[in-house]
Structure 1
Amino acid sequence: MIEGLLEDDELLSKIFEESHLTKTQLDSLLLAFQYKIEGYSLEEIVKMRDSGPVSKGSYLRTLGQAQSNFRKSLYTLLLVVYLGILDTSTVGDFVALSDRLSSLKDMEIPEDTILEIKLIIDEISDRITADKVL
């Protein structure tokens, strides 16, 4: 499922490269999100992975890893806000960027625009981590 999306969407591919998830984890998470909502059974979902059919145990293990990585990312975000490392204006900038990215989802985006988006994300990250200060 994720293979085709990554091939067709350069922006998605760039964002994915910087994420905490492996391709298999993201594939499992997408399958769980999309197909469980549509009423597919676990037996059907394990046959839909990009890498081919896997055992239920393998799928559930990978899905658990993806969920754990996602949860830890959220806790990390809360932690840096709680400690004052990340202020609410930066969170607002990030939410605004996320909204803009959602509106670009099915559009052909020029490479220079993708690089500009990556620079904005890196700038937000630098503000959070004080990378430019150190």
Structure 2
Amino acid sequence: MTRTEDIHVALRDAATAPRQVLREPVMKILLRNSNLTEAQLETLLLDLVIEDALKSHVPYEQKASLRTRKSRSKRGVSRGSYNRTLRQARRNVIQSIYTMLLLAYLGLFDQPVFRPFEEIAARIGNYRRIRDALAGRSTLTSEDLEVYRVAEETIVSALEGLGLPLVLKSRASQMREM
């Protein structure tokens, strides 16, 4: 195998993890309710994860060749399409961060209406720790799988409840509408 072929195999292997994450039920709900498209998230993951995994710079042409297309039989997009999608993803993430900073500045995160979001964020952190711990094991017991399944179902259920418009209303408004 040539050096170029070695790099391409390593790139393909490194790109597998971000794609697997996109298939997880928790990720699907989070993505559906975010302001990123699946293409933007995949592009952002490829851009941020690949170089760290390989510990070297990867040209955009190679990253673009790893992006999934809508027709699953083909791989890759043009460099221009990759860069445009990456720019959109970065802009959307930065706007989301500024929105959170604005809410923090106004002290709105201290309001009771945001507590369920805080709780689910903690659950997601625990879920990721469980997932990472299980990923390091060579064999999984039925108990391991059950712990993972219960954690995932709890988060999925909580996330589906957070998507309701009533969640972001004051307690007084919620009571009036009931």
Question: What TM-score does the superposition give when structure 1 sets the normalisation length?
Answer: 0.75
Q: Identify the structure with the greater helix proportion.
A: 2
Aligned to 1:6: 22
Once residues 118 and 95 of structure 1 are traced to their aligned partners in structure 2, the CA distance between those partners, rounded to angstroms, is 10
After superposition, residues 1-134 of structure 1 pair within 5 angstroms as 3-7=19-23, 9-37=24-52, 38=54, 39=56, 40-51=58-69, 52-87=75-110, 90=115, 93=119, 95-105=121-131, 108-110=148-150, 112-118=153-159, 121-122=162-163, 126=167, 129-130=168-169, 133=173
Larger radius of gyration: 2
Question: What TM-score does the superposition give when structure 2 sets the normalisation length?
Answer: 0.59
Q: Which amino acid aligns with 1:21?
A: L
Change (3 A) 1:4 1:102: closer
Once residues 55 and 119 of structure 1 are traced to their aligned partners in structure 2, the CA distance between those partners, rounded to angstroms, is 36
Report deviation, 1:41.
2.1
Once residues 66 and 26 of structure 1 are traced to their aligned partners in structure 2, the CA distance between those partners, rounded to angstroms, is 7
Say which SS state the counterpart of residue 66 (structure 2) adopts. coil
% identical aligned pairs: 27
- Count of residue pairs the alignment pairs up: 130
Change (3 A) 1:74 1:60: same
Say which SS state the counterpart of residue 51 (structure 2) adopts. helix
Q: Which moved more, 1:10-19 or 1:58-67?
A: 10-19
Q: Which amino acid aligns with 1:23?
A: E
Q: Deviations over 1:80-134 (max 9, x none)?
A: 11112222884854652342232244664257424333157459x93xx326526
Q: Which has the higher contact order (CA 8 A, sep 6+)?
A: 1
Once residues 113 and 95 of structure 1 are traced to their aligned partners in structure 2, the CA distance between those partners, rounded to angstroms, is 12
Once residues 13 and 68 of structure 1 are traced to their aligned partners in structure 2, the CA distance between those partners, rounded to angstroms, is 21
Which blocks of at least 5 consecutive residues in structure 1 are unaligned? none
8 A contact 1:25–1:66 mirrored in 2: yes
* Cα RMSD, aligned residues only: 3.0
Change (3 A) 1:131 1:60: farther
8 A contact 2:41–2:89 mirrored in 1: yes
Which blocks of at least 5 consecutive residues in structure 2 are unaligned? 1-15, 70-74, 136-144
